[in-house]
């Protein structure tokens, strides 16, 4: 039996109207799970207590899952600026009644982007160019994306949904230990831009945990956004301010890029797994495809019947992921992708891939080729939030600036940071990105293109049961999401236990099986090594936010003990 390494103690936090459980204070996996909050009026799980509270406030005010998701995301843009954003982008999987759709508000390459913009004259990668400063920034998708999610699915007035974030920015919020630590870790990046340092390193130092911080410029931006919607940011003086800041530091992002940006509703990647229906993110995310391939191969390999914590299951996971990430090499923006979800999730391809896997021997990644047409006849910061409302409607939303605090540049007069999502493109042949992913031609930079992502917001259901989940973690997102989903739908874990369990990861290249410290018992680890796996122990794989509705209509919420986020539920009976 695996032990857990995360320090935790039980906390019984309840308020009149909602229950809020702090991720880092969750109950141990071995205990019963009162730590996973339960109610019937809806549930929110996110990476920051103040953001979860914002979502719960909106549910209590009669908002639905879309209203609460937008309010939570906007609150994250204030209190969790390393990932929450208005200057980045993201994805949402939305299930209302029996209708499932996904909203793609991923950044795009600016109109002036070129395939070699991150290379020097000799064709060598320019150090940092795709990571630091506004050249690294894609066109922000969040302002239009969050407004679109509300416009299509929200119920409350727009200004009411923006209000909690506006209040946090204007009146101030308490700096958390996580924020202080993130600002301290990234102080060298933030200090490179005086515009950023004046807000996030006042007096040259990060604000200390416990201090109340006000963000007047961001508050003014949110006020304009509440009044006029996305055009308040994507047109006029605020868009001009983005262009000015970009030009000053050598970026190619222009006001016209912001104005031209449009979010896109897309059909989800849909598959059945272990008796559940699953909907996850399609291209330009590889996440749904990796998740679908993983489940498809595992089902064919009889994974569920293997002993739960033994080497067989870990081996098959690694082998399935190795192949799914090899296929990822072919993926990119749907307009240029060299393979589609349809091709990579075809039963014939999954059959063939599952058939390649040797039960007792790792296949070296160099021998695993990506999908081809002939054969068929695959730390930084991101943040995920999961919401259910009392009617069972679900929103899974993952959003990011890519690296922690994005490209480091805060737009003066606007108050938000710009992303460094351009690094998610294949910026130089053969060069691994921030997450060690080596990517293919399909994901080369071109104007207007969306860079390939791993973000995997996911909704799964069986009858009236619903599970909503997702994670940050770059390339590790789909594997973290897959494991929590499998813990729930194969092994029947309680929600919190499913999130708590230690995790593994493999991404084809580098050819290594990553494991959290407590993920493998010593005898399992040696069995895997003797099957040919190179094991590497890493601190943490993902940070999952999950909510769930039982067949009886009760909702539960869990936040990952790997981070200090919070999960909470609304209890109408207590109101
Ligand atoms: O879209 C992607 O796959 C990355 N930009 C996500 C970055 C991320 O998850 C950072 N989080 N820890």
Task: Lay out the sheet containing 42-46: strands in order across.
Answer: 18-22, 566-570, 42-46, 382-389, 394-400, 89-96, 99-105, 264-266
| Sign for the pseudo-dihedral over CA of 489, 493, 496, 502 | negative
The Å distance, Cα 87 to ligand 1 centre, comes to 14
Q: Which of 234, 294, 382, 479 does the annotation list as catalytic?
A: 382
> Counting atoms of ligand 1 from 1, which one is nearest the CA of 543?
12
> Counting atoms of ligand 1 from 1, which one is nearest the CA of 379?
12
CA distance 377 to 276: 27
Burial class (CB in 10 A: 0-12, 13-18, 19+), 212: exposed
* pLDDT at position 430: 81
Q: Is 419 in the pocket of ligand 1 (CB under 6 A)?
A: no
Query: Which residue's CA is minimally distant from atom 8 of ligand 1?
Result: 474
For 142-173, the DSSP string reads: HHHHHHHHHHHH--S-HHHHHHHHHHHHHH-E
The Å distance, Cα 474 to ligand 1 centre, comes to 4
Question: DSSP E strands: which ranges in 13-169?
Answer: 18-22, 37-39, 42-46, 89-96, 99-105
| Tokens 């240029």 belong to residue | 336
Query: Which residue's CA is minimally distant from atom 5 of ligand 1?
Result: 402
Q: Is 141 in the pocket of ligand 1 (CB under 6 A)?
A: no
Query: Which residue's CA is minimally distant from atom 10 of ligand 1?
Result: 381
* pLDDT at position 5: 29
CA distance 65 to 563: 23
Active site residue 382: yes
- The string over 452-466, giving b where at least 16 C-beta atoms fall within 10 Å of a residue's C-beta and e elsewhere, is bbbbbbbbbbeeebb
Estimate to the nearest angstrom the gap between the alpha carbon of 368 and the chain centroid. Answer: 27
Query: Which residue's CA is minimally distant from atom 11 of ligand 1?
Result: 381
pLDDT tens by residue, the chain, 575 residues: 222 222 222 222 222 234 566 554 332 222 223 346 777 799 999 999 999 999 999 999 999 999 999 999 999 999 999 999 999 999 999 999 999 999 999 999 999 999 999 999 999 999 899 999 999 999 999 999 999 999 999 999 999 999 999 999 999 999 999 999 999 999 999 999 999 999 999 999 999 999 999 999 999 999 999 999 999 999 999 999 999 999 999 999 999 999 999 999 999 999 999 999 999 999 999 999 999 999 999 999 999 999 999 999 999 999 999 999 999 999 999 999 999 999 999 999 999 999 999 999 999 999 999 998 654 332 557 999 999 999 999 999 999 999 999 999 999 999 999 999 999 999 997 888 888 998 899 999 999 999 999 999 999 999 999 999 999 999 999 999 999 999 999 999 999 999 999 999 999 999 999 999 999 999 999 999 999 999 999 999 999 999 999 999 999 999 999 999 999 999 887 75
CA neighbor of 281 nearest in space, from 458, 119, 448, 160 = 458
CA distance 320 to 283: 20
Query: Which residue's CA is minimally distant from atom 4 of ligand 1?
Result: 474
For 439-477, the DSSP string reads: --GGGB--TTPBPPB----EEEEETTEEEEEE---GGGH
CA neighbor of 417 nearest in space, from 195, 265, 101 = 195
Estimate to the nearest angstrom the gap between the alpha carbon of 111 and the chain centroid. Answer: 26
Give, for 355, the enclosing helix (H) or strand (E): helix 347-356
Residue of 89, 406, 453, 477 best suited for mutating to test ligand 1, as the one with most atoms within 8 Å of CB: 477
> Counting atoms of ligand 1 from 1, which one is nearest the CA of 473?
12
């Amino acid at each position: 039996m695996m032990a857990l390494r995360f320090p935790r103690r039980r906390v019984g936090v309840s308020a009149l109207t909602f229950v809020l459980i702090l991720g880092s204070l969750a109950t141990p996996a071995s205990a019963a799970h009162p730590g996973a909050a339960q109610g019937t009026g809806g549930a929110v799980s996110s990476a920051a207590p103040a953001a979860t509270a914002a979502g719960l406030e909106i549910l209590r005010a009669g908002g639905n899952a879309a209203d609460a998701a937008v309010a939570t995301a906007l609150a994250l843009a204030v209190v969790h600026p390393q990932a929450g954003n208005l200057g980045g982008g993201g994805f949402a999987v939305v299930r209302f009644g029996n209708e499932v759709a996904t909203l793609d508000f991923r950044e795009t390459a600016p109109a002036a982007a070129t395939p070699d913009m991150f290379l020097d004259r000799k064709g060598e990668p320019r150090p940092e160019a795709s990571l630091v400063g506004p050249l690294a920034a894609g066109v922000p998708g969040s302002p239009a994306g969050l407004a679109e999610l509300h416009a299509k699915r929200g119920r409350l007035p727009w200004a009411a949904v923006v209000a909690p974030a506006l209040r946090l920015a204007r009146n101030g919020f308490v700096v958390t230990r996580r924020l202080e630590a993130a600002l301290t870790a990234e102080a060298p990046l933030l200090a490179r831009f005086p515009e950023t340092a004046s807000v996030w390193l006042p007096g040259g130092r990060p604000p200390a945990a416990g201090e109340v911080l006000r963000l007047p410029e961001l508050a003014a931006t949110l006020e304009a956004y509440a009044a006029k919607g996305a055009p308040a940011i994507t047109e006029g003086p605020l868009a001009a301010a983005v262009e000015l800041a970009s030009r000053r530091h050598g970026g190619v992002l222009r006001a016209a890029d912001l104005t031209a940006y449009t979010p896109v509703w897309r059909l989800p990647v849909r598959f059945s797994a272990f008796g559940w229906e699953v909907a996850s993110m399609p291209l330009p995310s590889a996440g749904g495809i990796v998740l679908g391939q993983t489940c498809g191969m595992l089902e064919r390999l009889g994974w569920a019947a293997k002993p739960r914590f033994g080497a067989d299951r870990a081996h098959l996971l690694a082998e399935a992921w190795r192949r799914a990430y090899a296929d990822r090499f072919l993926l990119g923006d749907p307009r240029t992708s060299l393979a589609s979800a349809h091709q990579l999730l075809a039963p014939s391809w999954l059959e063939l891939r599952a058939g390649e896997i040797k039960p007792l021997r790792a296949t070296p990644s160099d021998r695993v080729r990506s999908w081809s047409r002939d054969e068929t006849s695959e730390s930084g910061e991101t943040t995920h939030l999961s919401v259910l409302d009392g009617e069972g409607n679900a929103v899974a939303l993952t959003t990011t600036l890519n690296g922690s605090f994005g490209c480091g540049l805060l737009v003066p007069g606007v108050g938000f940071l710009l992303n460094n999502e351009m690094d998610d493109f294949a910026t130089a042949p053969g060069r691994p990105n921030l997450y060690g992913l080596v990517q293919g031609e399909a994901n080369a930079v071109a104007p207007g293109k969306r860079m390939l992502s791993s973000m995997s917001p996911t909704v799964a259901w069986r009858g009236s049961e619903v599970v909503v989940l997702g994670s940050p973690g770059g390339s590790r997102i789909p594997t973290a999401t897959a494991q929590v989903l499998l813990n729930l739908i194969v092994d029947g874990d309680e929600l919190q236990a499913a999130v708590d369990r230690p995790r593994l990861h493999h991404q084809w290249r580098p050819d290594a099986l990553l494991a959290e410290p407590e993920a493998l018992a010593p005898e399992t680890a040696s069995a895997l090594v003797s099957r040919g796996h190179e094991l590497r122990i890493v601190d943490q794989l993902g940070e999952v936010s999950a909510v769930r509705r039982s067949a009886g209509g009760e909702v539960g919420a869990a936040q990952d003990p790997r981070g200090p986020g919070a999960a909470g539920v609304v209890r109408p009976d207590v109101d």
